[in-house]
Structure formats: C-alpha cells, structure tokens
Amino acid sequence: MVQLVTQPFVIRPEGNKPKLIEEFVGNVATGTREVSIARMKAAGGWLEPGQTPRFDEYTLVLAGTLRVETREGITDVQANQAVITRAGQWVRYSAPEAEGAEYVAVCLPAFHPDTVHRD
C-alpha cells in the first residue's frame, strides 16, 4: 500500500540562527523508526552544537554550502555534492556562507532526539 506524505512535520531546530527542518518521513512525521528523510534550510552563519549520533546520516546539499566538522577536520559540501557521517562519530554542521544552505538529510535508523547526543 502506498502512503502519501502530503506535508512535512516541522521540527524545532538547535543552533544559533534560524533553521527550518521539515521531516517528511521519520519518527515524528510518519512513525517510521527505520529511516528519516528531512529537508533543511539553514540561514547564513547558522551553527549547531556538536553531536555524536547513533545513526548514519546521508546528506545531499541542494543549494549553498554545508560545513561538516569532525575530529578529523572540516569538509565544505557544495550544492550537488553529498557527504556521509557514521554513527558514533562526533560531528558539527554549519552554514558558513551568507546564502546559507539547503539540504536533504537521510538518517538510518531514523533521527530521534534521544539518539543524537548533542554536546
């Protein structure tokens, strides 16, 4: 059976500046624990706290630049590029450029506040 998701669930973000999180599939939007799919729109200069999540995160940048900071260094991910971060790895995301960033995040298993482990 097909389940049509007609609108996302907006989730309250963490960070120093505005960010829109629209979960289309996941724990909150559809009760799906296996995977979450969300569109993010971060303002320029946005920075969130570091985290050590218990899920893998696959991120596709649609517009702007997403900065991904890990213990190994910093990676700037541009539009039409993707990045993978693994469960148990400390990571911090930000949008360093003035135009901000728009991206899609897919988390396996699904994102949940209890499994993100923010600093």
- What are the residue ranges spanned by the domains of the chain? 10-116
Q: 21-41 pLDDT, tens per residue?
A: 999 999 999 999 999 999 999
Q: Which CATH number fits domain 10-116: 2.40.70.10, 2.40.50.100, 3.40.50.300, 2.60.120.10?
A: 2.60.120.10
Rg (C-alpha) for the chain, rounded Å, is 14
| 33: three-class secondary structure by DSSP | coil
Which stretches does DSSP call E strand in the chain? 9-11, 19-25, 36-42, 46-47, 56-70, 73-78, 82-85, 91-95, 101-108
**How many whole angstroms separate alpha carbon 92 and alpha carbon 49?**
6
pTM: 0.94
Higher pLDDT residue, 93 or 11? Answer: 93
